[in-house]
């Protein structure tokens, strides 16, 4: 009896990201031609946001197919709500990681980077979801679907969000960076930016670096990625900023000064099929750390 080849989900997901980057598209950045300028975090029909690698996967699918709505359901969830997937529609891949324990029980986290290695047999599995634009028969609005617009203006929300982190932010000069020695985020004056969204996105990126300080998340990539560690940290910061900006509904564009990292990211991803999972998970942890200071766990 011929056995079916084992599916390598790590390689499959990585190839999707590589293909987008190779075409000059960052799945975590809103394309400038989009009708909706704000890239919103993908949501389950319950209003719960997707996390980690699944955010990138669903953003990638939404960009490829031009979806403007950010809500996704499984086939059965759609049926339970009285909806129906239209004939010929293709679903989107999402994954979850976990491990089978010695007691023959299973723990899983569908947004984890990599299965836990402590005990038991690790696994990565997939399932299929559909965007609401692929369905018929669902209510346009109502319970169970995420709100798409906030009653608070982006500027008010973002400044309150950043202030609550307690990070030391200084303004001046013409460079944006995080200095780990003095533990300070340095930014140009807000007036130097294209608009308020660009200023907020840059601040979110540098605050992502701030979370990696030894007294916070103690994030280090040198042992695993060697000379590419700096590029991986930049990828984590970009993803974290994208997650935060999506949650705060801030429209962003890719920073031109980070274009040079794309080749490095491609090299890392091509050599390590789990690298994008690690980067997405670390970015999610960084975003969670920032949200802890808001008094809520978001995303």
Question: pLDDT class for 166, splitting at 50, 70, 90?
Answer: very high
Residues 170 and 214 in one domain: yes
Has residue 156 got a pLDDT over 90?
no
Q: Could you tell me if 26 and 290 are in contact, meaning their C-beta atoms sit under 8 angstroms apart?
A: no
Residues 120 and 190 in one domain: no
Q: Could you tell me if 168 and 178 are in contact, meaning their C-beta atoms sit under 8 angstroms apart?
A: no
Residues 195 and 110 in one domain: no
Residues 115 and 64 in one domain: yes
What residues contact residue 183 under an 8 Å CB cut-off, 6+ apart? Answer: 168, 210, 213
**Entry pTM:** 0.76
For residue 7, the tally of other CB atoms under 10 A from its CB is 11
Residue 54 has a pLDDT of: 95
Residue 42 has a pLDDT of: 93
Has residue 89 got a pLDDT over 90?
yes
Domain finish residue from 136, 166, 182: 136
pLDDT in tens, 27-84: 887 543 344 445 688 999 898 999 999 999 999 998 888 888 899 999 999 999 989 9
pLDDT in tens, 168-183: 999 887 789 999 999 9
Q: Which residues form the domain of 174?
A: 154-292
Residue 30 has a pLDDT of: 56
In a domain, 223, yes or no: yes
Question: pLDDT class for 8, splitting at 50, 70, 90?
Answer: confident
In a domain, 142, yes or no: no
Domain finish residue from 136, 165, 199: 136
Residue 261 has a pLDDT of: 83
In a domain, 39, yes or no: yes
Residue 66 has a pLDDT of: 81
For the segment 139-159, the average pLDDT, to the nearest whole number, is: 51
Q: Could you tell me if 99 and 119 are in contact, meaning their C-beta atoms sit under 8 angstroms apart?
A: yes
Pick the closest to residue 133 from 58, 205, 229 (CA basis). Answer: 58
Domain finish residue from 80, 107, 136: 136
Residues 84 and 185 in one domain: no
Residues 94 and 186 in one domain: no
What is the side-by-side order of every strand in the sheet holding 106-109? 43-44, 71-73, 121-131, 92-100, 106-109
In a domain, 160, yes or no: yes
Instruction: Give the 3-state secondary structure of residue 276.
Output: helix
Residues 122 and 162 in one domain: no
- Which one has a higher pLDDT value, 86 or 147? 86
* Average model confidence (pLDDT) across the chain: 82
Residues 160 and 51 in one domain: no
For residue 21, the tally of other CB atoms under 10 A from its CB is 18
- Distance, in Å, from the CA atom of 42 to the CA atom of 68, rounded to the nearest integer, reads 11
In a domain, 4, yes or no: no
For the segment 240-248, the average pLDDT, to the nearest whole number, is: 91
Residues 191/289/143/125 CA torsion (nearest 10 deg) = 120
Question: pLDDT class for 109, splitting at 50, 70, 90?
Answer: low
For the segment 77-99, the average pLDDT, to the nearest whole number, is: 90
Residue 33 has a pLDDT of: 38
Query: How many separate domains does the chain show?
Result: 2
> What percent of the chain is predicted at pLDDT more than 90?
49
What residues contact residue 190 under an 8 Å CB cut-off, 6+ apart? Answer: 171, 196, 199
Residue 29 has a pLDDT of: 73
Has residue 217 got a pLDDT over 50?
yes
């Amino acid at each position: 009896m011929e056995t079916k080849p084992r599916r390598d989900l790590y390689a499959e997901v990585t190839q999707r990201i590589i293909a987008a980057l190779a075409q000059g598209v960052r799945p975590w950045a809103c394309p400038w031609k989009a009708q909706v300028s704000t890239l919103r975090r993908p949501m389950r029909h319950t209003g719960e946001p997707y996390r980690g690698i699944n955010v990138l996967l669903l953003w990638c699918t939404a960009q490829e197919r031009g979806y403007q709505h950010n809500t996704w359901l499984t086939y059965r969830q759609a049926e339970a709500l009285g909806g129906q997937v239209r004939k010929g529609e293709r679903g989107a891949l999402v994954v979850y990681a976990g491990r089978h324990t010695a007691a023959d029980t299973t723990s899983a986290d569908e947004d984890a980077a990599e299965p836990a290695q402590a005990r038991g047999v690790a696994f990565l599995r997939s399932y299929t979801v559909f965007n609401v634009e692929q369905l018929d028969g669902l209510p346009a609005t109502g319970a169970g679907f995420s709100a798409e617009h906030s009653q608070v203006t982006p500027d008010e929300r973002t400044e309150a969000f950043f202030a609550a982190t307690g990070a030391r932010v200084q303004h001046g000069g013409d460079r944006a960076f995080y200095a780990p020695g003095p533990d300070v985020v340095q930014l140009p004056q807000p007036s130097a930016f294209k608009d308020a969204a660009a200023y907020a996105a840059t601040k979110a990126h540098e605050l992502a670096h701030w979370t990696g300080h030894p007294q916070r998340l103690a994030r280090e990539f040198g042992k695993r990625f060697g000379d590419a560690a700096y590029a991986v940290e930049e990828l984590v910061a970009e993803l974290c900023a994208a997650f935060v900006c999506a949650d705060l509904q801030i429209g962003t564009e890719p920073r031109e000064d980070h274009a040079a990292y794309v080749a490095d990211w491609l090299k890392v991803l091509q050599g390590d099929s789990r690298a994008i999972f690690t980067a997405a998970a670390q970015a999610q942890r960084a975003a969670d750390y920032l949200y802890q200071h808001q008094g809520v766990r978001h995303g």
